[in-house]
Structure 1
Amino acid sequence: MKSFLTDSALTNIVNSGAFGKGCYFVSFERDLNNEGEDQFQSIIVYGTIKVSDGRYYQVIIKINEGTLENMNIDVQFHNEIQMYKKIIPFLMSFNHHSTKHYTQLFPKFYSAIESDRDNLEKTMIVLENMHPQGYRLSENRLFLDFDHLASCLRAIAKFHALSYTAKNRDMNTFKRSIEGISSTAWDSNGQWVYPEKSLTIIGKRGLNRLLERDPAKYRNHKNVKKLIYLLDNGYNSLRQTLLSREPLAVLCHGDFCRN
């Protein structure tokens, strides 16, 4: 992998001006102490790129795993590349006083390579490593504490606010900017990539704990019954969730989780 990165892809990326005009690739030192955590849809490589003007860049390189066909990984990479190349610059282009609060929502995007289906493992995205700025994954993998949840919700709210700003300022360009985003959740037969029963199992994991804690209070609670119905009818619930409803529709991440 390192040979591929240094000898071809990274050399081309640096020499094309991604790290400054006139700079060329000198070296890439992989950081084996910081490998990707909980990754199963991509290979995550940490390292430092040195360029000819003497500067160093700490980066994260996401490489297509290329082995999980049912997960539509190539489409996911395509969507992410479109986000960094096209959509985020558009969302951040409005000269609004509040945009200064959004500068840390996204890592710096340096470059990307999108290969054809016969060379998916050469598809990659090169991003700023946010670790030096203090960003870390939560140590708790299953249940986040309130502070982490609140931080996540604030970040999502800021991201969604960018959609509202863009729609208000330039609805036509907003619509065009998201045309290249494709759904990754459904196959050609209209089925979700996971069995429907998995939605029920995952969803009821937390709900069952609530019922065990105080069955008399929650067993016949109207909202609990509504939630059970939604979980038992997983595919229909998902489709309803994905329908755009104006004026509240926004561009969503769709899979906001720890990894």
Structure 2
Amino acid sequence: MKTRTKDNVLKDEECLQIIKKRLSRDKMEDYSLVKYELIPIDGSSGFMGQYFTLKATVTSPSSDTKNINFFAKIPPLQTSPLFEFNIEHGSFKKEVDLYTKVFPEVLRGLEQYNIPECFFAYGGDVIVLEDMFPEGYTMINKHIPFDLNHCRVVMKTLANFHAKSLIFEERDKKKIHDEFSHCMHETLFPDKEEGRGRKMFTAAVRGVVSMIDLLGELNDAEKMKFKETLVELSQNHAKKLLPSMRYKNVLCHGDLWANNILFKYGDEGRPDACCLIDFQLA
């Protein structure tokens, strides 16, 4: 298939397949499809990918008209800073492999909505997931630090997510890194002397080192010691990310920040659940 663009995200038969799979999950077998459309999500495309909402309207004899939404994404535009990064490291295809090959095996039995359900994925071209916003999940302001309640919810979800790797290895008598080696490689900081990942990391270290000079509470000797320690810790960083030969290894998200965590709130406005999204750097 040709590379998908904003004008060619999904074929008609693929849209019908996605809708049918969702209705089957909801045990809604007797239905009539009224309409469906694919709508670009304004203001969010162009960095990690191009994003769309697939909207469908269906009816059935036993219920009123029902609207269902899906979240779809394709790789970033050629003008995006991450276009070449995706080509070099295959980050989009890795996420497709995770949703289609790894998660169905490793995350079996995971509590509903810890991650979105995948309804369609194809090669390194497109992923279609459940739209979590109609289920009550929302993205919070990334500039506001998490309070203790948000941290508790995230840690509980991560504990469940990480525990599934341990359960998989114990249950199936397989090593997760051996079984899924094709998508368990380090994406952002590979062990290469050249490449965008190395350049990004080096620039980040230099930036942090330069900001140490802004710490007015430290004297010159303390600043120098801080810089030396930081540079020392950053050495051989890629090797530190390799699977441990001594301890158990688990599948990690790899890019866990505010925009990749959706929260759901209870009646009192406190978070009671969260959902992890965007696994291109897992």
Q: TM-score, normalised by structure 1?
A: 0.70
User: 1:255 matched to which residue of 2?
Assistant: 255
Q: State, as a whole percentage, how many aligned pairs show the same letter.
A: 21
Residue equivalent to 2:160: 158
Which residue does 2:47 correspond to in 1? Answer: 40
Query: In 1, distance between residues paired with 2:219 and 2:155?
Result: 31
CA distance in 1, matches of 2:192, 2:180: 23
Distance in 2, Cα, partners of 1:104 & 1:217? 50
Distance 2:253 2:159 in 1: 12
Following superposition, the deviation at residue 26 of structure 1 comes to 4.8
Instruction: Quote the offset at 1:38 in angstroms.
Output: 6.9
Cα root mean square deviation, aligned: 3.8
Q: Quick one: structure 1 residues 81 and 10, their matched pair in 2 at CA, closer, same or farther if it must change by over 3 Å?
A: same
Q: Distance in 2 between matches of 1:244 and 1:209?
A: 32
Distance 1:166 1:12, change over 3 A: closer
Q: From 131, 134, 137, give the equivalent of 1:132.
A: 134
Q: Does 1:77 align with 2:92?
A: yes
Contact kept in structure 2, 1:60 and 1:126, CA below 8 Å: yes
Point out where structure 1 has 5 or more consecutive residues left out of the alignment: 115-119
Q: Name the SS for the 1:168 alignment partner.
A: helix
SS at match of 1:78: helix
Question: 2:71 — aligned with what?
Answer: 60
Alignment match of 2:196 (pick from 171, 193, 197): 193
Aligned to 1:144, what secondary structure does the other structure show?
A: coil
* Matched AA of 2:108: S
Greater relative contact order (CA < 8 Å, ≥ 6 in sequence): 2
The answer to whether the 8 A contact 1:18-1:110 is kept is yes
Q: Who is 1:117 aligned against? A: none
Match of residue 218 from structure 2: 215
Report the alpha carbon displacement of residue 4 of structure 1 after superposing the two structures with TM.
Answer: 4.8
- Which secondary structure state, in structure 2, belongs to the residue aligned with residue 10 of structure 1? helix
Whichever structure has more helix as a proportion of its residues is 1
Match of 1:108 among 77, 101, 117: 117
Length-normalised TM-score, structure 2: 0.66
1:25–1:180 CA distance, 2 compared to 1 (3 A):
farther
Q: Provide the C-alpha distance between the structure 2 equivalents of 1:177 and 1:28, rounded to a whole number of angstroms.
A: 38
Change (3 A) 1:104 1:209: farther
Q: Render the CA deviation track for 1:176-204: whole Å, top value 9, x for unaligned.
A: 542331533467965342344x4254346
Q: Which residue of 2 aligns with 1:244?
A: 244
Counterpart residue identity of residue 53, structure 2: Y
Consecutive unaligned residues in structure 2, runs of 5 or more? 1-5, 261-282
Is 1:81–1:112's contact at 8 Å kept on the other side of the alignment?
Answer: yes
In structure 2, the CA distance between the partners of 1:66 and 1:166, relative to structure 1 (3 Å rule), is same
1:61-84 deviations in Å (ceiling 9; x for gaps): 011226313333782222222222
Deviations 1:190-225 (A, max 9, x none): 5342344x4254346567369605214992798875
The answer to whether the aligner puts 1:202 opposite 2:209 as a matched pair is no
State the aligned residue count: 239
Letter aligned with residue 7 of structure 1: D
